Amino acid sequence: MDGATATRFQEPNPYAPMQSKTVLVLGLGNTLLADDGVGIHIIRSLALDPMTPPCMRLIDGGTLGFRLLDQISQAVAILIIDAAQLGCAPGTVRLLDCNELARHVGQTGRISAHEAGLADLLTLARLEGFAPRYLALLGIQPQTVDWGVSLSPAVASAATAACQLAVRTALSWGKML
């Protein structure tokens, strides 16, 4: 990781306090499974972009699951970025707020490969008395979820739009925190 990335990108640290006007941007995925790693690729792109606003706390959540509980339980606003089964063309980017996310899961079942772990993680945080004021999933429809370290062309071309939507969402929430 180069110096620019190291200054923007943060490994999960349960002892680092969240600032009140900070949006936790959590990239999920497995970079060894092609498009499944899109959340991590987007987090890394945001970390390298000098225009990424300082209100975004970027975390590579990978496949960490319950080890992210401390990070999630400290956050007032959480934007999760992940590959998601949206029933759309590969590369489609959609922002699902908390209500849309719950409705979509209720109608279609699992939305992403990490949903069960993520749903369990959020449920555990709620049982401990935590509920974020803002929560959304920025989902990208995968084309290929198979062995491979590169994104498919459709998903790779959607990464810029996903980064822009993540920044707009974080800035919008940041003004309301």
- pLDDT tens for 22-57 read 999 999 999 999 999 999 999 999 999 999 999 999
124: domain range?
21-176
> Tokens standing for 70?
């401390």
- Tell if the pTM clears 0.85, that is, is over it: no
Q: What pLDDT was estimated at residue 7?
A: 43
- 5 falls in which pLDDT band (50, 70, 90)? very low
Residue 97 lies in a domain: yes
Q: Give me the mean pLDDT over the 143-152 stretch.
A: 94
Residue 3 lies in a domain: no
Name the domain count of the chain: 1
Q: What pLDDT was estimated at residue 104?
A: 63
Q: What pLDDT was estimated at residue 10?
A: 56
Residue 13 lies in a domain: no
Q: What pLDDT was estimated at residue 141?
A: 96
**Which whole-number Å values give the CA distances from 155 to 75, 84, 90, 151, 152, in the listed order?**
28, 11, 6, 6, 5
Question: Between 15 and 81, where is the model more confident?
Answer: 81
Q: What is the CATH number of the domain that holds 133?
A: 3.40.50.1450
Q: What pLDDT was estimated at residue 132?
A: 86
Residue 14 lies in a domain: no
